[in-house]
Amino acid sequence: MQIPPKTEIKILVPLTEMQRFWYSKMLTGECASLAGSGQTDAYKRLNSLVMQLRKVCNHPYLFEEADINSGWTDEAIVQASGKMIVLDKLLTKLQKEGRKVLVFSQFTSMLDVLGDFM
C-alpha cells in the first residue's frame, strides 16, 4: 500500500457568533491588563493572549466556561465553531467519495473535541 501525496487546502472560515463573543471577551479583558504592565510582563501576557485567541478560533469549547449551558451533542459541537461546520461538511462529502482523511491540530485539547464529535 502506498500513501498518496499530501494535499493541503486552505479555507478561510468566518467565526461563529459564540466564537466572536469569546474573541471579543479575550481582547477586552487582556488589553486592559496589558496597558498597566511592564515590558516583560506585557510580552508574556501578549503571547498568552495570542494563544487564547488561537484557541477561540479553533473552538470555543476549549474554554471550560464556554460550554457550561450547552450540551456536548454532535450538533452543538459543530455549530459552535466555524471550522467544525466546514469540517463536518467536508468529512461527509469525502466519506461518500470513499476518501480517507487525516486531521491534525497543534492543540491536543482540540483533538479531544474532535474525538467527541466523531
State residue 85's pLDDT score: 94
pLDDT in tens, 96-111: 999 888 888 888 888 8
The predicted model scores a pTM of: 0.77
Cβ burial of 117 (10 Å; 0-12, 13-18, 19+) is buried
**Contact indicator for 81, 58 with CB cutoff of 8 Å:** yes
Cα–Cα distance measured from residue 33 to residue 51, given in angstroms and rounded to the nearest whole number: 16
Alpha carbons 100 and 83: distance in angstroms, whole number = 19
pLDDT tens across 29-39, in order? 766 666 666 66
Average pLDDT over residues 88-95: 92
58-78: pLDDT as tens digits:
998 887 776 555 556 678 888
Return the C-alpha cell found at 105.
491540530
